[in-house]
Amino acid sequence: MEFLFDYGLFLAKIATVVVSIIAILIAAKAVGGKSAGAKGELEVTNLTEQYKDTVVELEHHLFDDAELKARTKAEKKADKEAEKAKQKEIKQAAKSGELELKRDARLFVLDFNGSIDAKEVAALREEVSAILAVAIEGDEVLLRLESGGGMVHGYGLASSQLDRLRDANIKLTISVDKVAASGGYMMACIGEKIIAAPFAIVGSIGVVAQLPNFNKLLKKNDIEFEQLTAGEYKRTLTMFGENSDKAREKFQLELEETHVLFKDFIREHRSELDLEKVATGEHWFGKQALELGLIDEIQTSDDYLTKACKNREVLAIHYVQKKKLSDKIAGIAGQSAENVFMRLISKGQRPIV
Domain-by-domain residue ranges, the chain? Answer: 41-65+105-204+274-349
For 245-265, how does the pLDDT look when each residue is reduced to its tens digit (9 = 90+)?
Answer: 888 888 889 999 999 999 999
Secondary-structure breakdown of the chain: helix, strand, coil percentages, each rounded to the nearest 5: 55, 15, 30
Q: Decide: residue 250, CB within 10 A, 0-12 exposed, 13-18 middle, 19+ buried.
A: middle
DSSP state of 232: T
At residue 342, does pLDDT exceed 60? no
In this structure, are residues 344 and 141 in contact, taking their beta carbons and an 8 Å threshold? no
Between 246 and 172, the higher pLDDT residue: 172
Mean pLDDT of the chain: 82
Give the range among 63-77, 122-136, 169-183, 206-220 with minimum mean pLDDT: 63-77
User: For 4-16, what is each residue's pLDDT tens digit?
Assistant: 555 556 556 676 7
pTM here is 0.76
| For residue 213, pLDDT beyond 90 | no
Of residues 36 and 181, which shows the higher confidence score?
Answer: 181
Polymer length of the chain: 353
Q: Please give the pLDDT value at position 71.
A: 72
Higher pLDDT, 339 or 300: 300
pLDDT at 345: 46
- Region 115-144: mean pLDDT is 94
Model confidence at 35: pLDDT above 50? no
Q: Residue 173, Cα to own-chain centre: how many angstroms?
A: 15
**DSSP result, 129-170:** HHHHHH--TT-EEEEEEEB---BHHHHHHHHHHHHHHHHTT-
Query: How much is the pLDDT for 335?
Result: 57
* Class of the CATH domain delimited by 41-65+105-204+274-349: alpha beta
In sign, the C-alpha dihedral spanning 277, 283, 286, 287 is: negative
The confidence score (pLDDT) of residue 30 equals 60
Task: Give the active site residues.
Answer: 182, 234
Q: Among 131, 37, 123, which Cα is nearest to 319's?
A: 123
Q: What's the pLDDT band for 81 if we cut at 50, 70, 90?
A: confident
Residue 295 and residue 113: Cα distance in Å, rounded?
19
Cβ burial of 112 (10 Å; 0-12, 13-18, 19+) is: buried
DSSP letter (8 states) at residue 26: H
